Structure 1
Amino acid sequence: MGGAAVSGPGTLNMSRMKRMAGPDPRAGFKAGGTDCSTSVPQGLLKAARKSGQLNLSGRNLSEVPQCVWRINVDIPEEANQNLSFGATERWWEQTDLTKLIISNNKLQSLTDDLRLLPALTVLDIHDNQLTSLPSAIRELANLQKLNISHNKLKILPEEITNLRNLKWLYLQHNELICISEGFEQLSNLEDLDLSNNRLTTVPASFSSLSSLVRLNLSSNQLKSLPAEINRMKRLKHLDCNSNLLETIPPELAGMESLEMLYLRRNKLRFLPEFPSCSLLKELHIGENQIEMLEAEHLKHLNSILVLDLRDNKLKSVPDEIILLHSLERLDLSNNDISSLPYSLGNLRLKFLALEGNPLRTIRREIINKGTQEVLKYLRSKIKDDGPSQRDSATETAMTLPSESRVNVHAIITLKMLDYSDKQATLIPDEVFDAVKSNIITSVNFSKNQLCEIPKRMVELKEMVSDVNLSFNKLSSISLELCMLQKLSFLDLRFKMLPEVLYRIFTLETILISNNQVGSVDPQKMKMMENLTTLDLQNNDLLQIPPELGNCVNLRTLLLDGNPFRVPRAAILMKGTAAILEYLRDRIPT
């Protein structure tokens, strides 16, 4: 420990000894308070001195015991009982406390003794009954993460603006009515959650939070957003759900870094264009009063994957919806739409919701069959409305008598090999023969009686990316599926999650709902770094492994309709991010 150390059993570091012998400049605080022997086990304190971490969550504490505040100041009790210490008991070599968790207790206040823990980088006091914070919080200069959510704070102390190293600040579920002056000084803040408070405005100075990546303002009483918000050059995730917003500042459409925008449950009647939001992947604007969707709203959304327009007043969908080449999920439910553009069928959607619309052009039974059947129907209408004479001639020339059952139009125009709904036990060779030299990106062999994957699928290994084998009688999957080099979408109906799926690292989507799947392997699932959508609804999962929360690339995780008890329905309703966070919090340490 440096030149001042002496050797031998029972000896102390002299610099530490000097500190203990003289009067402690911080020892003027009352040493009374909650009895540590009953509220905090000595073994827990001993372990905290070694690790620098102390977790007192859920211990029914009404105040923080003095021994916690003074853990790095006082000589521990065991030091007075034994002067001979082994290598594992050298309390004078203790680590300063850097992480303190005192959440889920009954704390109504914290004292200024908080300053006795200047090394703290994480302070978690969520789910208590705090109405204020001590001014001494300003002295926690090293603090990087502060969680004060689920308390009763009405105002934030100005001293919080001194925490210049703060990166994560969680203030959701309090009673805040305004934001402190000087808040913009938290220039290193990356994640800020102010949801479920009573905020009526967001100050323009917020735009100075230049490092902010995620901002959650949902469930407040905001009527507007400041135009200056577009100065947040790193902001990727903006959540303004459940407010009173009537308009969106056009400047918001200039946020180049924005990837996820949540505007559900507001009072919006119009949408801005998004000329600069080229990275926007998810736009959630359901439950508003939007009456019109125009081409200008869509033409710049080049990267959009999820578009939620449910529960509005839309009467039509523009033909320009076909410009959204990347779109995977489109929710149009509960609007006033009477017809859809047939071009919608050419999108490679994985989810399309149309319930609650007065549609006249699509029969109810087709809608009830699901997304792929609706898209197939819309594509067929494109054909019925008359392909060009050239297309007709080409199709006639290519359709040999032996190929009469093969949809050559789909092969040429849609790059799809479609032999679905035939109740066939084998896919005839003529189907594969019809491909010839054409490029095929999608295969649809659904609604047949297949017991195994057709071996000739390997012929498409260098080009096919979407495979639909749902509603067959597959009992296992052969390794040939791994040879499909570009496979990113696979639709199955199965009794267990096939082992081979874990080896297809290009997969982006697994739809395996309405089966009898009883378990998943979270460790193998985590290796599937491209997997973004996992639909496990209506299976036989008795438990969800907490380690599934480590699959952080999942954007859509659907678990409804399984017999597990946790996570409860309230967590599932909060969406994928909340489910993953819930699971991660329960991983054994």
Structure 2
Amino acid sequence: MSRFKRANKGDSLAGFRAEKTEPTVPYGLLKAARKSGQLNLSGRGLTEVPQNVYRLNIDTPEEAQQNVSFGESDRWWEQNELTKLLLSSNQLTQLSDDIRLLTGLTTLDLHDNQLSSLPSALGELQELQQLRLSHNQLKALPVELCAMKNLCSLTLQQNLLESLPEELGILENLTELDLSNNNLKGLPSSIGHLTCLQKLNLCHNKLSSLPDSLAKLTNVKLLDCSNNQLTDIPASLSEMPVLEQVYLRHNKLRNLPKLTAPMLQELYVGNNQIEQLETEQLACLTSISLLELRDNKIKTLPEQITLMSTLTRLDLTNNDISMLPASLSLLPNLKVLLLEGNPLRGIRRDLLTKGTNELLKYLRGRIKEEPERADEGHTAMTLPSQAAVNVHNIKTMKLLVYSEKQAPDIPDELFDAAADQGVTTVNFSKNQLTSVPSRLVEFQSSISDINLGFNRLTCCSPDICKLLQLMHIDLGNNQLSDLPPEMKNLTKLRSITLNYNRFKSFPEVIYQVVSLETVLLRNNQLGGVDPCHLIKMVNLTTLDLSNNDLLNIPPELGLCTNLRCLSLEGNPFRTPRAAIMAKGTDSVLEYLRSRIPS
């Protein structure tokens, strides 16, 4: 009995009570991290970072203390320094100062946690290049964070930031800065010192103005200021030489911004309070391809809208427009015109439902054509209906147009009339061409835009690759199955349209044209795409692969974070599911990234 009595002197429930211990990481993970230099602890329910993670490169491994023999691959003294630490989707509320012990980190992912502050010791990670802090509860940033001079990417979206430190401008190597979905009311003037910045996202904040110093961001291509309280845009933004995309949706703008940025292609100004379009504002948009003006209060369109000769898409949905100028039909590249929700008069409802081509054809018919006087002979102003050669288009607008003729070739007289005129735009669409006209090379020093869509091309002549100024090319609705390797020489090419052809694989040469921003390949027979090559296309923002034969979508495609529009509809793959696809490009990319094996 005495034996049992002694036993009862202790805690009878001791064996059932769990001791409170600090969170641990499986030993196998730590061992693998010493070899690879990477540690993925995402989605493990951690409330704090285990101490042995901070001390991974300092403490001697267990096996060394046990004095066991090592194989050649297990020599702990030859371990790699930790360079990549992923802690996303946990429940971290704070980060210890011991983070300074991981001096070799180049990537630190803390997104989707519950961090309300950051330790000043974070600034000691001088090798850090990527810092992901989105989806936390940060109200401020420590000044010390701005000491990380090697930082290239800083993502802070979905936090509670109300201001930014003036020292932010010290991060001079930043190429990407995402501050969207915060409570920012202003920006520090030092933001202009971030001269390497290429993408700046400021959407969903409380900004009422933008600093003039933004003009110093000479490498920014994409600027997103949507969903703020902006009433005006500083004229200095026009000094941004490579600015290509500007998002200003859901603000309080009363006028279309006057932006003379020479490379600006896409301007989104929907959901504002714009009532009138001025000729001066339109004339500035010399390279514009897409202009979104939906959900404003615009009543009329000026006749001078033809100044935007590069325009391909114009969205005027839900405005107060009652009449359309016939000159709208003279825009040579306009392919999409959206007018729903306007009180239009004089245009039949059924005509609006037939699409852009029919509407533009109707407007062209309303242009008054003065017949030539018999005693004047051939005039310099020849109208399209009177002759094959439109001398006015060639000399004044630098357009060479021979479209919708269903012709098997292009007349020589057209090329003769355009000789030495510096033609920049060529439209030979909707004919019966079986080969690229050889005389196009006569304009190789000037052509920047060419449309050969809706023909019968079975191959693309290498001659077209001699047009080194080419920026846009439309080869859609032909019978192409390959592209010439010489196309890699088109170093200024921004967009290529290959819809409705016969491509069975993604054209290899496209991967080599790193200047491309838009690639349209819908309605072909593509069986696959190589994400490793796509990632290197750093300028690619729009990729349309809809209606092809893609059986699976490689998860690595999610690493193409520059993509703003990815279309995959109409392919026979099972994942991503339709529900994810419906959420848009960002959700699809995020889903694909989550499927990448760690």
Measured against the shorter chain, the TM-score band is 0.7 to 0.9
Q: CA deviation at 1:124?
A: 1.0
- In the TM superposition, residue 434 of structure 1 has moved relative to its aligned partner by 6.2
Give the one of 473, 477, 483 matched to 2:458: 477
The Cα of 1:428 is off from its aligned counterpart by 5.2
Q: CA 1:58 to 1:546, structure 2 compared with 1: closer, same or farther past 3 Å?
A: farther
Deviations 1:484-541 (A, max 9, x none): 75474224347x972347875557544455x698965275531344543333557788
Could you tell me which amino acid in structure 1 is paired with residue 125 of structure 2? L
Q: Give secondary structure in 1 for the equivalent of 2:297.
A: coil
Separation of aligned partners in 2, 1:491 and 1:390: 41
Query: For 1:234 and 1:455, how far apart are their aligned partners in 2?
Result: 39
Do 1:145 and 1:167's aligned partners in 2 also have CA atoms closer than 8 Å?
A: yes
The answer to which of 388-397 and 83-92 deviates more is 388-397
Residues 255, 274 of structure 2: 8 Å contact kept: yes
Partners in 2 of 1:273 and 1:380 — Cα distance? 32
Matched, 1:179 2:164: yes
Contact 1:410 1:418 (C-alpha < 8 Å) held by counterparts: no
Partner of residue 278, structure 1: 262
Q: Which amino acid in the other structure matches residue 499 of structure 1? A: D
Q: Aligned residue for 1:562?
A: 570
- Determine the C-alpha separation between the residues in 2 that align with 1:571 and 1:282: 24
Q: Distance in 2 between matches of 1:460 and 1:273?
A: 35
Partner of 2:434: 454
User: Is the CA contact 1:407–1:418 (under 8 Å) kept in the aligned structure 2?
Assistant: no
Q: How has the CA–CA distance of structure 1 residues 497 and 127 changed in structure 2, closer, same or farther, with 3 Å as cutoff?
A: farther
Pairs within 5 Å for 1:47-66: 47-66=32-51
Distance change (3 Å), C-alpha of 1:527 and 1:484: closer
Paired residues of 1:333 and 1:353 also in contact (CA < 8 A)? no
The question of 1:33 aligning with 2:43 is answered no
Question: Which residue of 2 is the match for residue 98 of structure 1?
Answer: 83
Secondary structure of the structure 1 residue equivalent to 2:108: strand
2:445 counterpart of 1:437: no
Q: CA deviation at 1:127?
A: 1.7
Q: What is the aligned residue count?
A: 533
Q: How does 1:360-439 map to 2 (within 5 A)?
A: 360=345, 367-375=352-360, 377-379=362-364, 381-382=366-367, 384-386=368-370, 393-394=377-378, 408-409=388-389, 413=393, 414-420=399-405, 427=407, 432=411, 435=414, 437-439=416-418
CA-CA distance at 1:99 after TM superposition: 1.8
CA contact (8 A) 2:46 2:92 kept: yes
2:290 maps to which of 298, 301, 306: 306
Q: Is the 8 A contact 1:508 1:531 kept in 2?
A: yes
Which amino acid in the other structure matches residue 299 of structure 1? A
* Deviation (angstroms), 1:390: 9.7
Partner of 1:70: 55
Given the superposition, is the C-alpha separation of residues 273 and 484 from structure 1 closer, same or farther in structure 2, using an over 3 Å criterion? closer
Tell me if structure 2 keeps the 8 A contact 1:98–1:120: yes
Do the aligned partners of 1:322 and 1:347 also contact (CA within 8 Å) in 2? yes
Aligned to 1:246: 231
Contact 1:538 1:560 in 2 (8 A): no
More displaced 10-residue stretch of structure 1: 577-586 or 155-164: 577-586
* CA drift at 1:75: 1.1
Change (3 A) 1:47 1:380: farther
Q: Gaps spanning 5+ residues in structure 2: where? A: 1-19, 394-398, 545-566
Partner residue in 2 for 1:330: 314
Asked whether the 8 Å contact 1:539–1:561 carries over to 2, the reply is no
1:536/1:226 Cα in 2 relative to 1: closer, same or farther (>3 Å)?
A: same
Measure the CA separation in 1 of the matches of 2:72 and 2:376: 86
Q: Deviations over 1:433-488 (max 9, x none)?
A: 66463449645453x8x6xx525844656558534443x7x6x8235587575474
* Structure 2 counterpart SS, 1:408: coil
Question: Match of 1:566, as an amino acid?
Answer: P
Which whole-Å CA distance do the structure 1 matches of 2:34 and 2:375 have between them?
A: 77
Equivalent-residue separation in structure 2 for 1:377 and 1:90 (angstroms): 78
RMSD: 4.2
1:499 lines up with 2:478 in the alignment: no
Write out per-residue CA displacement over residues 73-113 of structure 1, whole angstroms, 9 at most, x where no aligned residue.
Answer: 11122324554434433221222212212222333332222
Q: Is the 8 A contact 2:506 2:526 kept in 1?
A: no
Residues 136-171 of structure 1: per-residue CA shift (max 9 Å, x gap): 323223322211011222333343233343332110
Question: 1:535 is matched with which residue?
Answer: 520
Which whole-Å CA distance do the structure 1 matches of 2:436 and 2:506 have between them?
30
Contact 1:246 1:267 in 2 (8 A): yes
The equivalent residue for 2:13 is none
1:269 corresponds to which of 254, 278, 288: 254
How many percent of aligned residue pairs carry the same amino acid? 43
Distance 1:46 1:586, change over 3 A: same
